């Protein structure tokens, strides 16, 4: 597909790409530094910073909190997003376009505004600062992403398969659970992984909704950089980059439904 692109254009694109990705990659050599100070290039090789991360109770607590939140978000955003996507693709009802726009809203509203809204709303409900608030907030934020990935998968599925199953005797619910879900298991898994990653990585909403008891990893990283510029951040960033990479590769591989 890229064969017809001319060489100068390829070089230009490569330079832009390198410029964009360089800041992400620069932390990788730094994470193996043996120095207490952040410096580039690193003076020597060691696993010191990784040991510091895994041995630090605060870092571990934040990682557990992030994992907990992201897992809850994955479950909740899939449980709501998959049926919504199915309804949006298959329904011929009047007003589907309006519902679709409504579902996509969290993607269009500036995150900071969205986060502020959630903060005020959850304070009113008396759940601000809790893990539940983080899960709910991130789930709404991730819903459009889940819905988009699942819709893309569903569009590849021949609707007559569902019609055939129904004529053969399966109820609408049975068709959904034993025909539709298995066919789009790949896209659902991809959507789940992306949802996990987005939540794990998210700063703005988490900043508004977390408390010292429920500090997620990115929030912990952000606050730590304000007090002391700890080189541990390089190790954590490298691990996060690795996680993103693995999830993105798996996600892209799984995105298409079985056909």
Which residues of this chain interact with another protein, rule CB under 8 A? 158, 160-161, 163-172, 174, 179, 182-183, 185, 257-259
Nearest to 10 by CA among 245, 25, 22, 1: 1
The tokens describing 225, both together, are 């950089």
DSSP state of 257: P
Nearest approach in angstroms of CB 188 to another protein is 13
If the CB atoms of residues 43 and 178 are measured against another protein, the closer one turns out to be: 178
Shortest separation between residue 164's beta carbon and another protein, angstroms: 4
For 76, 180, 210, 227, the CA distances from 123, given in Å and listed in that order, are 21, 39, 12, 28
The CA distances from residue 151 to 27, 33, 157, 194, 256, in Å, are 36, 45, 10, 15, 11
Judged by beta carbon, residue 86 or residue 114, the one nearer another protein is: 86
Smallest gap, in angstroms, from Cβ of residue 98 to another protein? 18
Q: Which is nearer to another protein, 161 or 242 (CB)?
A: 161
Q: What tokens does 246 get?
A: 């693995």
Structure tokens at 143: 């819903």
CA 232, CA 224: separation in Å to the nearest integer? 10
Residue 216 is given by DSSP the state -
Of 179 and 215, nearer to another protein (C-beta) is 179
Q: Which is nearer to another protein, 171 or 211 (CB)?
A: 171
> CB 137 → another protein: shortest distance, Å?
35
Q: How far is the CB of 158 from another protein (least distance, A)?
A: 6
């Amino acid at each position: 597909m890229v064969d017809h692109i001319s060489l100068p254009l390829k070089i230009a694109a490569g330079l832009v790409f390198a410029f964009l990705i360089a800041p992400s990659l620069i932390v990788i050599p730094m994470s193996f530094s043996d120095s207490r100070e952040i410096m580039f290039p690193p003076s020597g090789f060691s696993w010191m910073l990784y040991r510091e991360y895994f041995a630090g109770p605060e870092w571990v607590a934040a990682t557990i909190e992030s994992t907990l939140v992201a897992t809850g978000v994955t479950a909740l955003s899939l449980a709501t997003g998959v049926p919504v996507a199915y309804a949006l693709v298959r329904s011929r009802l009047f007003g589907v376009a309006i519902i679709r726009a409504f579902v996509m809203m969290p993607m269009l509203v500036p995150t900071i505004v969205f986060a502020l809204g959630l903060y005020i709303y959850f304070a009113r409900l008396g759940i601000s600062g809790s893990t539940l608030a983080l899960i709910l907030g991130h789930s709404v934020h991730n819903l459009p992403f889940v819905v988009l990935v699942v819709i893309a998968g569903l569009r590849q599925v021949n609707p007559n398969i569902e019609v055939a199953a129904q004529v053969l005797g399966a109820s609408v619910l049975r068709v959904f659970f034993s025909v539709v879900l298995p066919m789009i298991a790949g896209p659902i898994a991809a959507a789940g992984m992306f949802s996990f990653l987005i939540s794990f990585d998210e700063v703005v909403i988490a900043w508004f909704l977390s408390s010292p008891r429920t500090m997620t990893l990115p929030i912990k990283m952000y606050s730590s950089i304000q007090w002391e510029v700890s080189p541990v951040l390089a190790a954590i960033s490298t691990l996060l980059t690795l996680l993103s990479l693995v999830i993105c590769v798996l996600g892209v591989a799984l995105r298409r439904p079985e056909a």
